[in-house]
Structure 1
Amino acid sequence: MEKQFEIMKLIILDRDGVINRDSDQFIKSPEEWQPIDGSLDAIAFLTQAGYAIAVATNQSGIARGYFTVETLNEMHGKMHRLVQQAGGEISGVWFCPHMADSHCSCRKPEPGMILDILARFNAEASETYLVGDSLRDLQAIARAGGRPVLVLTGKGKKTLAKEKDRLPENTLVFDDLLAFSQYLREQD
């Protein structure tokens, strides 16, 4: 008898500019990793509402030599601790360490990282949101068959101003991750 796995309610979050403050000079240390106001509360609400939370983040700072995988793990350790203190949980973090010109399948806007997350969580792409602040985030989830959400934190305002005509069809737009979580609360 084949075991049936429950389909997970999943939300995928970009990291920089969605959960934490972003920098054009890269976030290179745990000290530089600072949460955006309301983002930890949003993750806590989503967790408590039954969503699994995964993070999908491009981290070319590794390939550029700005920081190591060990330092990235320390940043993610801080993120996990702060989210847990707020009452939430991040179930997994996926990252692409490659440069944009590497042509790998895991770097957003390619959908490889997203497809891997969907498979790991046995989630339906059509029911999965990806919350991001850049066009490449939205393109990655759209290419995987999921639901794109643009937040206006991080690079989001610039993305909306410069790329409005290129946003994937049915992209939802919110001020921040907390506003998106409140939208989902109203939908349930």
Structure 2
Amino acid sequence: MTKAVFWDLLGTLGGTSQTLIPDFTFYDEALPALKTVHNLGFINIIITNQSHIAHGRVTMKEFDESCERLMDESTKEEVEIKAIYVCPHQRKDNCSCKKPKPELVFRAQNEFDINLKSSFVVGDSVKNDMGLAQAIGAKGILVLTGEGKEGMGTTKNISPDSIAENLTDAVDFIKNNVLHSFEQ
């Protein structure tokens, strides 16, 4: 079975939760972080809520074109992103794919034969990303970029396995877990 790191996009790998995907740029440490976890034997998968689509601020075509650009940019830097899964709905749509609901992860699990217990979720939202980690039984790393600092302590019964100042710290936590699992 494969192990994966499920990355949030906005506020985690770049931009903020208000960034429209055509304006998205990776944080400086994002592509090196993705490359490092790939070299540790994980596949990189992005799971993103994009209610901007439902609100009409971005079309699905613009989203797909922007994702193609991000994939091209990552490939040029020799970084492999296996897939990007998107929920284009508003919360009021009550869909089954909006994080923290696990449907998109289950799609990825089926497509790539992923062992969720050996995987990680990295994101800036306690409710959405750490809630997702909890729902799938993966380790959750809250990065204090994007909404990370503002969401601290606001969601009861959900706590990350690690809190990271940035993506470099998040990758260090993953490395330490990989090394620790080899020592056992």
Question: Please, what TM-score do these two structures have when normalized by structure 2?
Answer: 0.88
Q: How much does 1:66 deviate?
A: 0.6
Distance 1:139 1:54 in 2: 17
Retained in 1: the 8 A contact 2:3–2:116?
Answer: no
Distance 1:140 1:78 in 2: 26
Distance 1:83 1:28 in 2: 15
Amino acid at match of 1:152: L
Distance 1:35 1:169 in 2: 26
Q: How much does 1:86 deviate?
A: 2.4
Retained in 2: the 8 A contact 1:12–1:53?
Answer: yes
Retained in 1: the 8 A contact 2:11–2:145?
Answer: yes
Distance 2:7 2:34 in 1: 10
Q: How much does 1:146 deviate?
A: 1.7
Match of 1:18 in 2: 12
Match of 1:172 in 2: 162
Structure 1 range deviating more: 78-87 or 90-99: 78-87
Match of 2:131 in 1: 139
Mapped pair 1:27 → 2:17 = no
Q: Secondary structure at the match of 2:5?
A: strand
Retained in 2: the 8 A contact 1:46–1:88?
Answer: no
Q: Percent identity?
A: 24
Q: Secondary structure at the match of 1:71?
A: helix
Distance 1:168 1:85 in 2: 37
Distance 2:99 2:159 in 1: 17
Match of 1:4 in 2: none
Distance 1:144 1:51 in 2: 17
Distance 2:128 2:97 in 1: 12
Amino acid at match of 2:141: V
Structure 2 residue ranges without an equivalent (≥5): 180-184
Number of residue equivalences: 177
Question: Please, what TM-score do these two structures have when normalized by structure 1?
Answer: 0.86
Distance 1:178 1:51 in 2: 16
Retained in 2: the 8 A contact 1:44–1:83?
Answer: no
Q: How much does 1:119 deviate?
A: 2.2
Closer/same/farther in 2, CA of residues 121 and 167 from structure 1, 3 Å limit: farther
Q: How much does 1:169 deviate?
A: 4.4
Mapped pair 1:40 → 2:34 = no
Distance 1:46 1:28 in 2: 24
Match of 1:71 in 2: 62
Amino acid at match of 1:166: K
Match of 1:185 in 2: 175
Mapped pair 1:60 → 2:51 = yes
Structure 1 residue ranges without an equivalent (≥5): 1-6
Distance 1:141 1:23 in 2: 19
Distance 2:86 2:4 in 1: 17
RMSD between superposed Cα atoms in Å: 1.7
